[in-house]
Amino acid sequence: MDQLLLKLEDNFEEMVSIRRYLHEHPELSHQEIHTPAYIANYHQELGLEVREFVGGRGVVATLKGSKPGKTVALRADFDALAIQELNDVPYKSKNDGVMHACGHDGHTATLLVLAKALTEMRDQLSGTIVFIHQHAEELAPGGAKAMIEDGCLDGVDVIFGTHLWAPTPLGEVLVREGAIMAAADRFEIVIQGKGGHGAEPQHSVDAIVVGAHFVTQLQTIVSRRIAPLESAVVTLGQFEAINPFNVIADTVKMQGTVRAFDEQVRRQMKEEIELLLKATCLGMHADYRFDYFDGYPPVVNHVEQTQLVAQIANETPGVEKVTVCSPFMIGEDYGYYMQHVPGTFFFTGAKDPDWETVYPHHHARFDFDERAMLIAAKVLGQATLEFLLTEQREEE
């Protein structure tokens, strides 16, 4: 373990350099070309087996130890967001309108340098380590599902992943058994009324009034139809009806999102929304169209792997605090991996203590303390080695 920590510390400057290069050259989801090529080339220079275009644009590199054993997968995402960066830093994005505003550049740099350190320890490894570099996390249907279908988890026994998290102070690691992130679904609604003159509503069906009734009742689903000890969110982000001031609207369009940690609650939310929409439109003589799009599943951590990461983090230099966090209502397609193999996903605090203002993820001024990458690599690497060593001892 100490050898790994020293190797990571010795290569921290390279980790920062990689992160900053990737930050300067961000690419959008499903449009990644240079980033996966860069990742593949790095692994190839390490002498690892590399598969490109996995599930579309993903990269999978495999490190085989000198002795047989179990297989651990480590995952990092590498896509960016359609945001114009406003930071005044030397490594500012060079791609207009595209920015690494969620830390995926840091995730990638962390995994690449960790792969380098572990490769230098190949002769001491019993088992296999698979480095999964995933495209398109930010845009559903995402890259995880496609990469799994293309075999990225074949032969994998366990998976670990982390997210650099700017709201949490550097030195703090967040873990949680069970659901740590929510399912994230999307829906679209069209209410069809009957347009007419604003002075003669009796001859029309006002789609705005119908829509307004629906919106005001929508939040009663969570407060009155979902059990109080369960969690769910439904949010309307769009309500559109564009008409002249004196015309009764015949059409209203809405879009929204549903979040839930439990699959049964997730299904119930979908059913309740349509039931309410149907009843509202029926009672007010309107028609409707309801389209519901299943997004990412909840990220549900397995107990054994979460306990392992918590134990490792508590012993890792640079980690000052390990916190059992509350679950987050944000979504991540990492949950797909743990539908197939056991694993865990944790958050690595990346808030620079010297910054007066910390901008949230997906903000045009987002940034993070790069020292968090070193902590993330140490926890991921040590958890990997501990798992392989434990399995080796049990087999002996």
Q: Is 138 annotated as a binding residue?
A: yes
Taking each helix axis from N to C end, the angle separating 371-395 and 104-119, rounded to the nearest 10 degrees, works out to: 50
Q: Which two tokens stand for residue 210?
A: 């119908």
CB 337 within 8 A of CB 58: no
Reading the block at residue 41, the tokens are: 């080339």
Neighbours of 137 (CB within 10 A): 24
Q: What is the largest CA-CA distance in the chain?
A: 86
Beta carbons of 47 and 62 less than 8 angstroms apart: no
Q: Does the active-site annotation cover 79?
A: yes
Burial code (b: 16+ CB inside 10 Å, e: under 16) for 83-122 equals: bebebeeebebebeebbbbbbbbbbbbbbbbbbbbbbebe
Known binding residue 34? Answer is no
Say if CB 52 and CB 150 are below 8 A apart: no
Q: Is 362 annotated as a binding residue?
A: yes
On whether 104 is known to bind a ligand per the annotation, the reply is: yes
**Residue 150 burial class via C-beta count within 10 angstroms: exposed 0-12, middle 13-18, buried 19 and up:** middle
Distance CA(84)–CA(98), nearest Å, equals 6
Told to judge if 250 belongs to the known catalytic residues of this protein, a careful annotator would answer no
What does DSSP say about strands 126-134 and 67-77: parallel, antiparallel, or unpaired?
parallel
d(C-alpha 303, C-alpha 178), whole Å: 7
Query: Which listed residue (79, 185, 367, 369) is catalytic?
Result: 79
- Catalytic hit among 32, 77, 85, 137: 137
Which sign, positive or negative, has the C-alpha torsion 293, 342, 55, 383?
positive
Q: Which H helix or E strand runs over 39?
A: helix 34-45
The answer to whether the CB of 73 falls within 8 A of the CB of 341 is yes
**Catalytic residue set:** 79, 137
Binding residues: 102, 104, 138, 163, 362
Binding residues for Mn(2+): 102, 104, 138, 163, 362
